[in-house]
Chains A and B, each alone.
Chain A
Amino acid sequence: MLSPVIAAHLLTKKYKDFAAVDGISFEIAPGESFGFLGPNGAGKSTTLRMVGAVSTRTSGSLEILGLDPNEHGPEIRSQLGVVPQQDNLDMELRVRDNLIVYGRYFGINTSTCAAKADELLEFAQLSDRKKSRVDDLSGGMKRRLTIARSLMNDPRVLLLDEPTTGLDPQARHILWDRLFRLKEQGTTLVLTTHYMDEAEQLCDRIVVVDKGTIMAEGAPADLIRTYSTREVLELRFGSDNNATVATQVVGIGDRIEVLPDRILIYSNDGDSDLDRILAQGFTPITTLVRRSSLEDVFLRLTGRSLIE
């Protein structure tokens, strides 16, 4: 097996007494697309900042490209592309200049930077906006420009912190397409997200993180198989009746979960379970049989309470 691009063992980051990342271990292979999935405050971004060699770990070991970020921060960062959660493009500069000044940080000469900037603006579908002010770009365009910027040094590893948060569906799909192309070219992608569809679309392997620890690890399909059933049957009986009906529907499905607005029955054959429920005389207002998703896994592992 190829040596891992990133290897973390009992990686920990503490702020005074609070452990933002609490002893996590993982390895990421070259060319792999790896996702950190977790609610807000789970420690995803902190982990990514340590992997990005900008935040010093409190304890544990961490190697990126075989180097320790405590000793070789600039060297590691020379091989990374970083797309932060919050765009930090320079508003004083125009679109193309943003790429050129960033390329210079890697010691690339100005003329090579200029050529690379044009190539990446094409890739990011921003060629016609190269002289625009950054402020005049839409959210999706800024995000694509940030991705283009992160590619100025032909990174071996691309770190993306919630790359599509706040974007409309069209912008997300364009972005996914660009990221998928990079993956095809062999770039290692490491991303954090709380969008399940994004994780399913982009990641070969996922770790579910909550409260600074890893709750589960595996390919999206494996996680669904392990932590959920093949299908989920959703039934609505009205807010006042859901809880009562749930106590009466017994022996159907693997597991039943009652939410304020609906009942979820985790099942390997949703249609036949629905037929059995209807045959017992129950009359739901609406019914839905759907495939189990990563979201079901996520909510099971991290709970349904609101995290802010």
Chain B
Amino acid sequence: MTVAIETPSARAIAAGVKPRRYGSWYVAEHRIRGIRSYSKTLLFTAVGSPFMYLFALGVGLATLVDRHNGLGGTSYLAFVAPALIASAAVTAAVEECTYPILMGFKWNPIFFGMNAAPISGAQIVNGIFIAVLARLLPTTLIYYLVMLVFGAVPSPLGVLDIPIAVLTGMAFGLVIASYMATVEQDVGQPAFIQRFIIIPLFLFSGTFFPLTQMPIFLRWIGWISPLWHGTELGRVVSYGAVEPGWLTIVHVLYPLALCVYGWRRTQVVVTRRLNK
């Protein structure tokens, strides 16, 4: 009979298998527990916000716009709803990609704790982004259901507004996360991003009026904004807005490219900071 002698290194190698394989999910699980600590506020916002915006813009402002047939037959409610759901996803994603990243390195440096366990920097980033997705899915689903209640989605394909909004939110969030991961001194960057990047893009991304209404020298703001791409794509599926096929492809590829860039870049920066 042979007796297997377990050497310390063999034991370590066996113990490393699960963390290497599932580490990203463990981080996501941790982060989702964190999000749960403020879940009541999130639920209230997720339900309250679509009612508020759709009522104010889709009902209130729409009476004025529709009276003048400003959109050539399309109701203003149907026009604005895909923009609003995408904006809601962007707001939630940016929240989850600014403070938690700054916090993890600075105010409450849990990333260092995770990394002292068998979790790598890349897995920390994956886990955080999985948790962002986990927040965006119910947020956009609730938004979509409220849009249905308001009759804001003429086409059955409009259900695709959910993944489109999620993609838009992730594109924004991941790029911002890649910047936030570089921030060593908190001098109010999250508030700056909110006021001087998110709000202007929200206003000038063809959200409330078609981008073609903007002077030509300002339209680039929409072109670089994932919100404009997500909104336009949402309009295509939601009520069949007409645009060239190549542009629809760009609306998908551009946010996807931003996601890939933001994701990889954040991984590189986080890994470098942890390995000092």
- Asked if B275 lies at the interface with its beta carbon under 8 angstroms from chain A, I say yes
Q: B33, A156: Cβ atoms under 8 Å?
A: no
Q: A79, B12: Cβ atoms under 8 Å?
A: yes
Interface size for A (C-beta < 8 A) is 36
A249 to B11, CA, bound (A): 62
A301 to B15, CA, bound (A): 41
Known: A88-B112, A90-B108, A105-B118. A72 touches B8 (CB 8 A): no
- Asked if B139 lies at the interface with its beta carbon under 8 angstroms from chain A, I say no
- Asked if B230 lies at the interface with its beta carbon under 8 angstroms from chain A, I say no
Known: A65-B8, A75-B118. A102 touches B113 (CB 8 A): yes
Which of B18-26, B192-200, B213-221, B242-250 has 4 or more CB atoms under 8 Å from chain A?
A: B18-26
Which of A33-41, A51-59, A223-231 has 4 or more CB atoms under 8 Å from chain B?
A: A51-59
- Asked if A89 lies at the interface with its beta carbon under 8 angstroms from chain B, I say yes
A12 to B16, CA, bound (A): 26
Contacts of A78 in B (CB 8 A): 12, 15-16, 19, 117-118
- Asked if B109 lies at the interface with its beta carbon under 8 angstroms from chain A, I say yes
Q: Which of B9, B19, B113 has most A Cβ within 10 Å?
A: B113
Known: A56-B275, A73-B120, A92-B34. A5 touches B8 (CB 8 A): yes
A194 to B117, CA, bound (A): 25
Give per-residue flags for A260-304: 1 if the beta carbon is below 8 A from chain B beta carbons, else 0: 000000000000000000000000000000000000000000000
Q: A77, B117: Cβ atoms under 8 Å?
A: yes
Give per-residue flags for A139-154: 1 if the beta carbon is below 8 A from chain B beta carbons, else 0: 0000000000100010
Q: B37, A93: Cβ atoms under 8 Å?
A: yes
Closest partner residue, chain B, to A135 (CB atom): B108
With beta carbons under 8 angstroms apart, the residue of A55, A84, A156 that contacts B275 is A55
Contacts of B26 in A (CB 8 A): 101, 104-105, 107
Interface size for B (C-beta < 8 A) is 36
With beta carbons under 8 angstroms apart, the residue of B20, B109, B116 that contacts A82 is B116
Contacts of A97 in B (CB 8 A): 33
A263 to B120, CA, bound (A): 53
With beta carbons under 8 angstroms apart, the residue of A65, A67, A77 that contacts B116 is A77
Contacts of B7 in A (CB 8 A): 66
Known: A93-B33, A105-B118. A75 touches B113 (CB 8 A): no
Closest partner residue, chain A, to B109 (CB atom): A88
Distance between B105 CB and nearest chain A CB, rounded to angstroms: 10
Contacts of A86 in B (CB 8 A): 109
- Asked if B49 lies at the interface with its beta carbon under 8 angstroms from chain A, I say no
Closest partner residue, chain B, to A82 (CB atom): B116
- Asked if A74 lies at the interface with its beta carbon under 8 angstroms from chain B, I say yes
Q: A74, B20: Cβ atoms under 8 Å?
A: yes
Q: B33, A74: Cβ atoms under 8 Å?
A: no
Distance between B120 CB and nearest chain A CB, rounded to angstroms: 7
Q: A105, B275: Cβ atoms under 8 Å?
A: no
With beta carbons under 8 angstroms apart, the residue of A65, A88, A104, A149 that contacts B12 is A65
- Asked if B119 lies at the interface with its beta carbon under 8 angstroms from chain A, I say yes
Known: A88-B110, A93-B34, A105-B23. A72 touches B116 (CB 8 A): no
- Asked if A126 lies at the interface with its beta carbon under 8 angstroms from chain B, I say no
Known: A65-B12, A72-B16. A105 touches B117 (CB 8 A): yes
- Asked if A29 lies at the interface with its beta carbon under 8 angstroms from chain B, I say no
A78 to B9, CA, bound (A): 11
Pull 26 A–B residue pairs with CB atoms less than 8 Å apart, ordered by A. A5-B8, A54-B115, A54-B274, A65-B12, A66-B9, A67-B9, A67-B12, A72-B16, A74-B23, A75-B16, A76-B12, A77-B118, A78-B16, A82-B116, A88-B110, A89-B108, A93-B34, A101-B30, A101-B33, A104-B26, A104-B30, A106-B118, A107-B15, A107-B18, A107-B19, A153-B15
Please list the residues of chain B having a beta carbon within 8 angstroms of any beta carbon in chain A. Answer: 7-9, 11-13, 15-20, 22-23, 26-27, 29-30, 33-34, 37, 108-110, 112-120, 274-276
Given A54-B115, A55-B275, A106-B15, 5 additional A-B pairs, CB 8 A: A73-B118, A90-B113, A97-B33, A102-B117, A107-B15
Q: Which 9 A-B pairs have the closest CB atoms?
A: A107-B18, A75-B16, A105-B117, A74-B118, A78-B15, A66-B9, A82-B116, A88-B113, A65-B8
